[in-house]
Amino acid sequence: MLTELNIRNFAIIDQLQAEFGPGFNVLTGETGAGKSILVDALNLLLGSRASPEMIRTGQEEAAVEAFFDLEGIKNEKILSRFDLDPSGGLLVRRVVNRSGKSRAFLNGNSITLHMLEELSEEILNIYGQHEHQHFLNPQRHIDILDRSGGLLPLRQAYQEVYEKWLKAASELEALVAKERQRSDRLDLLAFQSREIARADLKPPQPGQPTEEEELISERARLIHAERLYTIAHQGVELIYGESGSVVERLKSTLHRLREGVKIDPSLGPLISSVESALFQAEDLASSLRAYREKIHFDPGRLEIIVSRLDEVTKLKKKYGPLLADVLTYKEKIDLERKNLEDLGEKIAELTKTAADLYARALSSARELSAHRKKVAGELSGKVEAELSTLGMKKVRFGIEVEADLSGETGQGQDCNPRLYHNGMDLAQFLISPNPGEELKALARIASGGELSRIMLALKRIFAEETLVKTLVFDEVDAGIGGGIAEVVGRKLKEISRQHQVFCITHLAQIASFANAHYKVSKRIHGGRTLVEVRHLQGKDREEEIARMLGGVKITEKTLDHAREMLKNAHKGEKP
């Protein structure tokens, strides 16, 4: 139950605080007094889109705050979801700044907009003055029918199977499309695989040069063979030639040191060093000779290497950029080839799976449809009974539930209905306002006043089932007046026995039934327009009812009429 509403810097509201009680609360006031602003503020708390235009001129942010008494809330899921104590209270706050961004808070803790929407749906519902337009849309009728008949769990069970069938059907369609292109794709993959296989690429080994790196080195040696031969040959000659070579000089040095050691033994270590250098020089000369012997110019081998490198380069450009990528690509396409070769088997398996899921979805849709037709009859009777109490005694109301046979569906079975996310049915509300006339679509013949009363009848029926404790009716009395307005007032009063009801109205007949009456008005202060909400009692309430009855000039006769109306509306109630 909404017990307190605080609004700051919202639209033309500077600072507003209002306290509310249980039962039937009515808000009245002149057209343009700001009643709709209060509804806009509540909608903001429900999670509606925030906008900088909501902020009062000259201010940086607007805030709406509401306190709810949770006593009597029976929705265990929502209580557990937000860790709420049903014996305590709930403070919801939303702040909008000039950037258009907003923040939401629950009992002082920040929450997401999605969480706010989830929470607000469970504690407060607003039925706007234009909501009857929803009843003109047949696409909404199926939702109303399912909700009123408690069919949402059954519909959810259908939707789970339906979604699985859609997924399987989509996958099957993709595989069939692949199958159509299978032959061309297989030819391409086979060509690419053979092209890479023919190259017989050697897989790179960790720490070892790749085949390409070895070929590049060998190509360099072949191209520069003459220069390399000259370098090796000259090295041999310098180290081990016939005269003036390094070896001869080392031998001569060794001979002299051996003579000197006889005189000075300290020369002994030098002899060992020269001997070691001599051995190394001989080994080096031997290695250079071997390298020189291997060097030769081979135009045929060079041509082979150049051709091989060209082949590797082309493969890298097509499937690389690295040699390892080429080999990885071959593994990938070989796997795809295998999968494509197995495609026929997969299509057969998925066809069976999709057919089984479709059969289950169709069976579930038919079960749901059967329940809907039963509920449609029950709901039609309830609505007619409610409409009778609202002054529409001769009106017949019906709900048409028909399967959509407009198109082929499923596995090509023409006789089967089309399946939708919500089942196989199309639902439509029908009405016959006058005796002897056939039922016709609600959208085609219902007047504004009839729509308002039909909506109120449905809300009256739903109110018995909904767990939401606070209901706001924003001028749902549009298009009615006189005796019917009094009936609507009594109906709202009935609803208020189970729920806290707020009604924004211009009709005195409805306002007179309220447990609490609030007047919304505007005044000018300091050159600025301000909105006030005042709880009316006693004489003030009588004057407001009289104003609603008689216009600008209130006479004693009008006041007497107002007092009589209030007296009759509350006859039998305890003071």
In this predicted structure, the answer to whether residue 267 has a pLDDT above a threshold of 70 is yes
Q: Are residues 189 and 334 in the same domain?
A: yes
Is 145 a member of any domain?
no
**Mean per-residue pLDDT for 354-370?**
94
In this predicted structure, the answer to whether residue 412 has a pLDDT above a threshold of 50 is no
Rg for the chain, CA atoms, rounded: 46
**Mean per-residue pLDDT for 318-334?**
88
Using pLDDT thresholds of 50, 70 and 90, give the confidence band for residue 201: confident
Residue 62 domain boundaries:
1-129+448-536
Least confident range from 16-25, 154-163, 405-414, 515-524: namely: 405-414
Is 436 a member of any domain?
no
Residue 170 CB neighbour total at 10 angstroms: 11
Is 140 a member of any domain?
no
Most confident range (mean pLDDT) of 114-123, 124-133, 139-148, 168-177 is 168-177
Q: Are residues 571 and 549 in the same domain?
A: yes
Q: Return the higher-pLDDT residue of 148 and 481.
A: 148
Angle of helix 246-261 versus helix 268-294 axis, rounded to 10: 160
Q: Are residues 296 and 270 in the same domain?
A: yes
In this predicted structure, the answer to whether residue 132 has a pLDDT above a threshold of 70 is no
In this predicted structure, the answer to whether residue 164 has a pLDDT above a threshold of 90 is yes
Q: Are residues 91 and 203 in the same domain?
A: no
DSSP assignments along 148-180, one per residue: HTT-HHHHHHHHHHHHHHHHHHHHHHHHHHHHH
Q: Are residues 270 and 336 in the same domain?
A: yes
Strand partners, 503: 26, 473
In this predicted structure, the answer to whether residue 410 has a pLDDT above a threshold of 50 is no
In this predicted structure, the answer to whether residue 411 has a pLDDT above a threshold of 50 is no
> Mean pLDDT of all residues in the chain?
84
Biggest CA pair distance of the chain: 155
Q: Return the higher-pLDDT residue of 133 and 425.
A: 425
Q: Return the higher-pLDDT residue of 532 and 457.
A: 532
Is 19 a member of any domain?
yes
Q: Are residues 510 and 558 in the same domain?
A: no
Q: Are residues 90 and 218 in the same domain?
A: no
Using pLDDT thresholds of 50, 70 and 90, give the confidence band for residue 473: confident
What CATH number is associated with residue 528? 3.40.50.300
Task: Work out the percent of the chain whose per-residue pLDDT is above 70.
Answer: 91
In this predicted structure, the answer to whether residue 475 has a pLDDT above a threshold of 70 is no
Is 98 a member of any domain?
yes
**Mean per-residue pLDDT for 361-371?**
94
Number of domains in the chain: 3
Q: Where are the alpha helices (DSSP H) in 46-181?
A: 76-81, 113-123, 138-148, 152-180
**Mean per-residue pLDDT for 174-188?**
79
Is 14 a member of any domain?
yes
Residue 380 CB neighbour total at 10 angstroms: 18
Q: Are residues 37 and 88 in the same domain?
A: yes
Give the domain-ending residue among 340, 360, 387. 340
